[in-house]
Structure 1
Amino acid sequence: MYSDFDREVGEARVEQERQSRVTEVRAKLVRAGTLECVDCGCTISLARREAYEAATRCAECQTDFEREVYCR
């Protein structure tokens, strides 16, 4: 039979493993960029994807987007 301590340790381990998996999935989602620009459809350069893994726009479209949003 398991003691309360054993049960608590087991529950803590399960929670720690769950949190670890959640953190891992969140990190993958953050890195989940795309190979093609969502605006123009061109391939996003390797240098841009290495600099910002979650990029969804090529450098040119990102520049245009930021000008529209921030320079109004």
Structure 2
Amino acid sequence: MAGGWSKDGDVQEQIDNTVEDAVHRSRSRLPHGESLRHCEECDEPIPQARREALPGVRLCINCQAEHDKHEKAFSGYNRRGSKDSQLR
């Protein structure tokens, strides 16, 4: 049941878009290509098991953990249809 100016299914469409965006964002951040044998940042060897488990890995575990600490948090809130997002 839609209310106001919204059509039936708009809420579900927004949920689906939010999930699709999150999946796309996560997939785009996955490493790809050939893994490095030594870390890009500290030049420590990257274990074979890590290189096999995560193809395209470029950082050792310690540097990756530090990198992940500084990642900007993602809100996950889909603002495509909000009036506020259209004003920006």
Q: TM-score range by the shorter chain?
A: 0.5 to 0.7
Q: 2:43 corresponds to which residue? A: 41
Matching residue's letter, 1:42 = E
Q: 2:11 corresponds to which residue? A: none
Larger radius of gyration: 1
Shift of residue 53, structure 1, vs aligned partner: 1.4
Matching residue's letter, 1:58 = C
Identity, % of aligned positions: 26
Matching residue's letter, 2:47 = S
Distance 2:50 2:56 in 1: 10
Normalised by the length of structure 2, the TM-score is 0.43
Computed over aligned residues only, the root mean square deviation of the Cα atoms, in angstroms, reads 1.4
Say which structure is richer in helix: 1
Normalised by the length of structure 1, the TM-score is 0.52
Q: 1:14 corresponds to which residue? A: none
Shift of residue 69, structure 1, vs aligned partner: 1.3
Instruction: Report the count of equivalent residues.
Output: 42
- Return 5+ residue gaps in structure 1 as ranges: 1-29
Distance 1:62 1:55 in 2: 9
Shift of residue 31, structure 1, vs aligned partner: 2.5
1:65 aligns with 2:57: no
Distance 1:41 1:35 in 2: 9
Shift of residue 70, structure 1, vs aligned partner: 3.8
Q: 1:50 corresponds to which residue? A: 52
Distance 1:32 1:49 in 2: 9
- Return 5+ residue gaps in structure 2 as ranges: 1-31, 74-88
